[in-house]
A and B are shown apart, each in its own frame.
Chain A
Amino acid sequence: MHDTMQTQSERDVVLSVQGLKTWFHSRDGVAKSVDGVTFDLARGETLAIVGESGSGKSVTSLSIMGLLAKPAGRIEAGKILLRDRKGQEHDLAQASAATMRRIRGAEIAMIFQEPMTSLNPLYTVGDQIAEAIVQHEGGTKAAALRRAQALLERVEIPAAARRVNEYPHQMSGGMRQRVMIALALACNPSVLIADEPTTALDVTVQAQILDLLRRLQAESGMSILFVTHNLGVVAEIAHRVVVMYAGRVVEDAGVNDLFDRPTHPYTQGLLSCIPTAALLASRQRLAPIPGNVPSVTALPAGCTFAPRCPLASAQCTAAVPELIPVRPAHHARCIKVLASADAEVSHA
């Protein structure tokens, strides 16, 4: 435990989410979409949040951006601490609308899943990038348009001088996602939230976009919060991974650690759902996780994964398990972990 604390404080943390709870209130009851999520994002790091639909990963990113559907969605507890470029710390969970507006786009930017519809069809891409620049930094439209063109060149759009005057419908999906990235980078944000940015793209374009993000990160030192359900993409881009299940973090680890030694039964289940060449050759079936993610309005008591867990026992439903350190910088929310970790230690 002490060990991990040490490494945490040494890291240059830009964004720190602490005990975040985002609940949605409706007539059917309270949906605890995000229920106590904690993670840190260091400068220049890519942190992937992985989970199925309904695990709360997108709500987490919307909470950070202050884009929750109000008044149903509310941050009930927790802190979202952002260190801005001047080194000043803001709690985004408490920030005013005006502060959020200043931070959005300038300090934290976001790219979305749907590049086809995330751009206004009636304005040229240059106009849209220029809007973001003028909004945050002022200056003339002409200067902003020149910068827009430079940004398009930076995200490797060929013939940027012509493309800057084109409308979104004149571009392919991959090209539009590049425009979205250019838009997000317009004001040099220190944190980029990417909410499934490659899901709607075909595989070759996906790889190009991931390459581009990696290169831009190396150039600018920005941190990326990468929200996805695709573990293949995680392996490609992430440094560290947070696995979410039913609104809680069930495991966090370095990317190699996670793939080599998944500890939580859910993570193990997720990894065994990925078809590998060896598995296909042996003609074995994939091992899906039985059941579905529980509804966030009716979460099971104790460990939310217990109903689907092969290791579950009566003890699991007694209380919500804590995040337990397994190795340095590797935690899992499972009481069975202690036993196995002990076994590993004694074995060594």
Chain B
Amino acid sequence: MAIASSPSVVSGSSSDRWQILRLLVTRKTVLISLIVLIVLVGAAALAPWIAPFDPYKLSIMNRLKAPGSLHWFGTDDFGRDVFSRVIYGGRLSLTVGFMVVVLSSALGILLGLVAGFFRGADKVVSRLIDAMMAFPDILLAISLVAALGPSLSNVIIALGIVYAPRLARIVRASTLVIRELPFVEAARALGVPTRRIVTVHVLRNLMSPLLVQGTFTFAYAILAEAGLSFLGVGVSPDIPTWGTMINGGQQYMGTADWIMVFPGIAIVLAVMSLQLVGDGLRDVLDPRLRKEL
């Protein structure tokens, strides 16, 4: 009995991973969302081969053409192909969204765990978080980019810093709850060191609020990048991102709405499918919810 079961015990973690993936795709909404995400990311990655037109090529003759068989998503005020620009735009928008989530989560988790777990540090860290949240997001981002210099990586750094306090607050609040749960005391009673309690027992239990907030941050970041670019502190306006396209199309909203509708749909699809995948991920990562699937 013991011998028969030991291989499964040893390989428990990797078979667990397969089980999680299998459970994830058994739900239709999650499966569809995953496919949408893969298509969006794949299109962005393979943009030069997929895009029918050069996204930078101006053509005054073809300006403001409605969507048709040649230009599937129409053309913008400079005659550039919207479909190609949406595909290229995904490269920067998805990168910014993803990197900002990674950066702000890393900062937010660190600050939040420290504030939630160590009472003394909480006083300092919480005031710092409050101070940062007192600034309007975009204003703080603008000043940070202005200080760092306008470039894509600085936009990511600035937005990562701007969104970190929200995550830190959520992490701190959840940590304050989790640290008082009996299993944390039980782990202490077994001699588990504080560092391990924080990183293993508390962090794993933070996953669901983090996944939810992470998907929100992803959406915020894509839109904020657009705002920064529009204000001239982000990327140059001729470089396509979903955000800059929406900003550029605003003035033609009444006459040529396709300029902003299609990048808008791209953002909605990306954010919504990410959120649904995040939801599904949360459910399968929590063993208590897993059995209901």
Which residues from chain A sit less than 8 Å from chain B, CB to CB? 65, 67, 101-106, 109-110, 112, 114, 117-124, 126, 131-132, 135-136, 142, 145-146, 149-150, 161-162, 164-165, 167, 169-170, 180, 183-184, 186
- Complex: how many Å from CA A342 to CA B185? 48
- Are A103 and B6 touching (Cβ within 8 A)? no
Task: Evaluate whether A121 and B287 lie within 8 angstroms (CB atoms) in the complex, with A146-B9, A165-B12, A180-B186 already known.
Answer: yes
- Complex: how many Å from CA A136 to CA B196? 13
B4, B183, B186 interface centre (most CB from chain A within 10 Å): B186
Task: Evaluate whether A126 and B287 lie within 8 angstroms (CB atoms) in the complex, with A101-B191, A112-B185, A114-B182 already known.
Answer: no
Interface string of B106-124 (1 = CB under 8 A from A): 0000000000000000000
Picked from B5, B186, B288, the residue with its CB within 8 Å of the CB of A118 is B186
Residues in B with CB closer than 8 Å to A183 are 186, 190
B205 part of interface (Cβ distance < 8 Å): yes
- Are B190 and A122 touching (Cβ within 8 A)? no
26 inter-chain pairs at a CB distance below 8 angstroms, sorted by A residue, are A67-B185, A101-B191, A101-B193, A104-B189, A105-B192, A109-B190, A112-B185, A114-B182, A117-B182, A120-B205, A121-B205, A121-B288, A126-B12, A131-B190, A135-B190, A135-B191, A136-B191, A142-B9, A145-B10, A145-B12, A149-B2, A149-B5, A149-B9, A161-B4, A165-B12, A186-B190
B6, B183, B287 interface centre (most CB from chain A within 10 Å): B183
Residues in A with CB closer than 8 Å to B191 are 101-106, 132, 135-136
Interface string of B180-205 (1 = CB under 8 A from A): 01110111111111001000110011
Which residues from chain B sit less than 8 Å from chain A, CB to CB? 1-2, 4-6, 8-10, 12, 181-183, 185-193, 196, 200-201, 204-205, 285-288, 291
- Complex: how many Å from CA A161 to CA B185? 27
Residues in A with CB closer than 8 Å to B6 are 142, 145-146
From DSSP, what is the main secondary structure of chain B's interface residues?
Answer: helix
Residue of B nearest to A119 (CB): B183
Task: Evaluate whether A109 and B189 lie within 8 angstroms (CB atoms) in the complex, with A145-B9, A165-B12 already known.
Answer: yes
- Are B8 and A118 touching (Cβ within 8 A)? no
Residues in A with CB closer than 8 Å to B9 are 126, 142, 145-146, 149, 164-165
Residue of A nearest to B9 (CB): A145
Task: Evaluate whether A112 and B190 lie within 8 angstroms (CB atoms) in the complex, with A146-B2, A161-B1, A169-B287 already known.
Answer: no
Residue of B nearest to A161 (CB): B5
A101 to chain B, nearest CB (A): 5
Interface contacts (Cβ under 8 Å), in number, total: 102
- Complex: how many Å from CA A117 to CA B10? 27
- Are B181 and A104 touching (Cβ within 8 A)? no
B2, B9, B287, B291 interface centre (most CB from chain A within 10 Å): B9
Residues in B with CB closer than 8 Å to A135 are 190-193, 196
- Are B183 and A120 touching (Cβ within 8 A)? yes
Task: Evaluate whether A119 and B192 lie within 8 angstroms (CB atoms) in the complex, with A165-B12, A167-B288, A169-B288 already known.
Answer: no
- Are B189 and A110 touching (Cβ within 8 A)? yes
Task: Evaluate whether A118 and B2 lie within 8 angstroms (CB atoms) in the complex, with A142-B10, A169-B287 already known.
Answer: no
- Complex: how many Å from CA A132 to CA B8? 21
B176 to chain A, nearest CB (A): 14
A149 to chain B, nearest CB (A): 6
Residue of A nearest to B192 (CB): A135
Residues in B with CB closer than 8 Å to A132 are 190-192
Task: Evaluate whether A67 and B190 lie within 8 angstroms (CB atoms) in the complex, with A117-B181, A121-B287 already known.
Answer: no
- Complex: how many Å from CA A169 to CA B195? 26
- Are A105 and B205 touching (Cβ within 8 A)? no
- Are A104 and B183 touching (Cβ within 8 A)? no
- Complex: how many Å from CA A235 to CA B192? 34
Task: Name the 4 nearest CB pairs between A and B, nearest first.
Answer: A105-B191, A105-B190, A104-B191, A161-B5
Residues in B with CB closer than 8 Å to A65 are 189
Residues in B with CB closer than 8 Å to A161 are 1-2, 4-5
Residues in B with CB closer than 8 Å to A126 are 9, 12
- Are A104 and B188 touching (Cβ within 8 A)? yes
Residue of A nearest to B201 (CB): A120
Picked from A118, A124, A165, the residue with its CB within 8 Å of the CB of B183 is A118
- Complex: how many Å from CA A18 to CA B191? 24
Residues in A with CB closer than 8 Å to B201 are 120
B5, B8, B205, B291 interface centre (most CB from chain A within 10 Å): B5
Residues in A with CB closer than 8 Å to B285 are 122
